């Protein structure tokens, strides 16, 4: 049996494990929840703030939708951390380590399944945004919007997956992830411009990754790309690489 598994290409192992994760997401209703959650979040923010923001000349649906997209990626990452921890708790990780499966295959398969959830969450965010007036301008910039969103989603999913695998504790992982997520979302330019914050904290608000990514998505939706987009791409690249390394190292460490 082991000799037969050793002859199975890593790509087929990855495909099989990815399909397993996607089937679980469909069976347990994860994709429906991923799609629906941005709708609730958008309405809860848009309704109380719309009048005051539009009084200042801001098209608030166009302004807010990128942050809802970012929040949807964070929500997906929390699912990812929970799933990774449950895999370890349930013994799936132990079974895989007893087989000739390369260390990168299990996290890569989980990422693939979680990206399906991320796509569902992105779709939900764009649907509710469109219902309230959010629009794209330019096909190329729309594609760049989607790619940047999923790249950011990949970064936070990888980080959450590594944390969940390392702790093997879904409750602890959710607690650890919630605080920085809430801080970065609330202290960003996603809800209101930086000028709406006290002067002493405005530099942090402007330059932290959520503000940069939300600002870049806002630009891309409007059909343009400036230095903000380049900075956001640099932030995402700087997050993806160490998160991927951490995910693989944690998997290897648990296999020892």
For 86-140, write each residue's pLDDT tens digit: 877 766 655 665 565 666 777 788 888 899 999 999 999 999 999 999 999 989 9
Task: Give the 3-state secondary structure of residue 219.
Answer: helix
Q: What is the percentage of the chain residues whose pLDDT exceeds 70?
A: 87
Domain count across the chain: 1
pTM (2 d.p.): 0.88
Number of Cβ within a 10 Å radius of residue 175 = 11
Q: What is the pLDDT of residue 108?
A: 80
Q: Which residue has the tokens 């990774």?
A: 84
Report the distance separating Cα 36 and Cα 256, nearest Å. 40
Query: What does the CA dihedral 165, 31, 214, 49 come to, rounded to 10 degrees?
Result: -120
| 52 part of a folded domain | yes
Which CB contacts under 8 angstroms, 24+ apart, belong to 184-191?
184/208, 184/209, 184/210, 185/67, 185/70, 185/71, 185/74, 185/210, 188/67, 188/214, 189/214, 189/215, 190/64, 190/66, 190/67, 190/70, 190/71, 190/214, 191/45, 191/49, 191/64, 191/67
| 6 part of a folded domain | no
| 5 part of a folded domain | no
Nearest-CA neighbor of 31 among 152, 114, 126, 149?
114
The size of the chain, in residues, is 256
Q: What is the pLDDT confidence band of residue 57, given thresholds at 50, 70 and 90?
A: confident
Number of Cβ within a 10 Å radius of residue 221 = 24
On average, the pLDDT of the chain sits at: 85
| 88 part of a folded domain | yes
| 96 part of a folded domain | yes
C-alpha pair distances (Å), 241 with each of 139, 144, 230, 245: 28, 20, 17, 6
| 3 part of a folded domain | no
Q: What is the pLDDT confidence band of residue 210, given thresholds at 50, 70 and 90?
A: very high
| 50 part of a folded domain | yes
| 2 part of a folded domain | no
Q: What is the percentage of the chain residues whose pLDDT exceeds 90?
A: 50
Q: What is the pLDDT confidence band of residue 171, given thresholds at 50, 70 and 90?
A: confident
Answer for the pair 211, 199: CB distance below 8 angstroms, yes or no: no
Q: What is the pLDDT of residue 82?
A: 85
pLDDT of 5 over the 60 cut? no
Q: What is the pLDDT of residue 106?
A: 78
Report the distance separating Cα 30 and Cα 38, nearest Å. 13
Q: What is the pLDDT confidence band of residue 248, given thresholds at 50, 70 and 90?
A: confident
Range of the domain at 91: 12-254
Report the distance separating Cα 14 and Cα 208, nearest Å. 34
pLDDT of 194 over the 50 cut? yes
């Amino acid at each position: 049996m082991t000799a037969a598994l050793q002859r199975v290409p890593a790509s087929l192992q990855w495909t099989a494990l990815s399909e397993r994760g996607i089937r679980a997401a469909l069976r347990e209703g994860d994709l429906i929840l991923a799609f629906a959650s941005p709708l609730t979040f958008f309405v809860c923010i848009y309704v109380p703030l719309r009048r005051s923001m539009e009084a200042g000349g801001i098209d608030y649906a166009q302004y807010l939708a990128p942050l809802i997209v970012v929040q949807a990626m964070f929500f997906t990452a929390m699912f990812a951390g929970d799933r990774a921890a449950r895999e370890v708790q349930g013994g799936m990780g132990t079974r895989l380590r007893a087989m000739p499966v390369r260390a990168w295959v299990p996290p890569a398969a989980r990422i693939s399944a979680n990206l399906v959830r991320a796509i569902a969450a992105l779709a939900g965010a764009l649907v509710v945004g469109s219902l309230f007036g959010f629009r794209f301008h330019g096909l190329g910039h729309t594609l760049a919007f989607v790619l940047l969103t999923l790249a950011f989603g990949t970064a936070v999913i990888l980080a959450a997956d590594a944390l969940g695998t390392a702790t093997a504790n879904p409750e602890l992982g959710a607690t650890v992830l919630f605080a920085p997520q809430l801080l970065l979302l609330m202290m960003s330019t996603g809800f209101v411009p930086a000028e709406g914050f006290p002067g002493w904290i405005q530099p942090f608000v402007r330059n932290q990754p959520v503000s940069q990514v939300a600002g870049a998505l806002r630009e891309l939706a409007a059909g343009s790309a400036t230095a903000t987009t380049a900075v956001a791409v640099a932030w995402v690249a700087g997050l993806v690489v160490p998160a991927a390394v951490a995910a693989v190292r944690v998997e290897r460490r648990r296999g020892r």
